[in-house]
Amino acid sequence: MSFEFFEISPESVLKEPSLADAARLRIQSGGVGVVRQFIERSLAIEIRNYLTKIGQNSLPTYEPIEIGRPNFHRLNLDDERAHVRGCFHQFVFYPWNQDVFGLFHVFESLFKLKNLITGNPAERFAGRHGQHGVVSRLAFQFYPSGKGFLNRHQDPYGEHQLTVPTVCFSEKPGDFQNGGAFIEDADGTRHYLDDKTALGDVVFFDARLIHGVEIVDPHVETRWLDFVGRWTCLIATNKVAGNNQISNAIDVGN
């Protein structure tokens, strides 16, 4: 399996959907697709600062994935209820709720690109009600320096997704120095995605690959309210609560 990075142009694929077939084959063979500078640095920093203020000035809570639920933010402090162990602060947005940035418009082409690479129509699972028990969702995740991590795992893979595009809202070095997102090959060698990306880039890889987030800057004191560490955003298509047709993520250990 090859972990070669290759570049993807959303504009080209959306104009000529047959190009998605080639991207699909490369991703299924272990390639990592990258969209360079999908989002401008200034907008990425503005969104990150907005989420920081929310995290500093309102109580975290939890909402299940159900149609009509509000946007929310939550802490996962190695929560035993999670399918995959981790330590991060998550900010969730749904397409039926409005927000000041119009985030689902900002990321619309990534949802379409994800669908085409999966082999679906570009608009599948979009809108306020989703389809077939699956909804579109944006999940911004902040991993604090000193403690932030996500266990090695595999994401659900199937008709609803072959890949989970991940938007980089921080970069290494700069926002953090050590650790971060990785994928593993068969012998356990880790390939660190943050070493090959910059703020505003997007990565696509096979959801079945073992991947995770190695503890970010493990020797730094954690200061949750400073929001210093690693930021990312998942372009997610998730099953709604009660949908038993799609499996859960599989935690394969630390």
How confident is the model at residue 228, as a pLDDT?
Answer: 98
pLDDT digits (tens, 9 = 90+) for 17-41: 899 999 999 999 999 999 999 999 9
Q: What sign for the dihedral angle of Cα 54, 84, 156, 191?
A: positive
- The CA distance from 171 to 229, in Å, is 9
Q: Which residue has the tokens 């970010």?
A: 216
- The CA distance from 93 to 143, in Å, is 18
Are 203 and 168 contacting, i.e. CB atoms less than 8 angstroms apart? yes
pLDDT digits (tens, 9 = 90+) for 177-212: 999 999 999 888 999 999 999 999 999 999 999 999
Helix (H) or strand (E) holding 53: helix 41-57
Q: How far is CA 233 from CA 11, 110, 185, in A?
A: 20, 12, 24
Q: Which residue has the tokens 């995959």?
A: 84
- The CA distance from 92 to 22, in Å, is 31
How confident is the model at residue 81, as a pLDDT?
Answer: 83
Among residues 164, 137, 140, which one has the least CA distance to residue 69? 137
- The CA distance from 115 to 124, in Å, is 7
Average of per-residue pLDDT values in the chain: 95
Among residues 29, 1, 26, 28, which one has the least CA distance to residue 189? 1
**What would the mean pLDDT of 119-125 be, rounded to a whole number?**
94
Q: What sign for the dihedral angle of Cα 55, 61, 62, 63?
A: negative
Q: Which residue has the tokens 């929560």?
A: 79
Phi then psi for residue 200, to 5 deg, are: 100, -10
Q: Give CA torsion, residues 90, 92, 98, 99, to 10 deg.
A: 20
**What would the mean pLDDT of 127-133 be, rounded to a whole number?**
89
How confident is the model at residue 253, as a pLDDT?
Answer: 86
The pTM of the full predicted model, rounded to 2 decimals, is 0.96
How confident is the model at residue 2, as a pLDDT?
Answer: 57
Among residues 105, 93, 112, 135, which one has the least CA distance to residue 35? 112
Q: pLDDT confidence of 1, banded at 50, 70, 90?
A: low
Q: How far is CA 50 from CA 55, 91, 208, in A?
A: 9, 11, 33
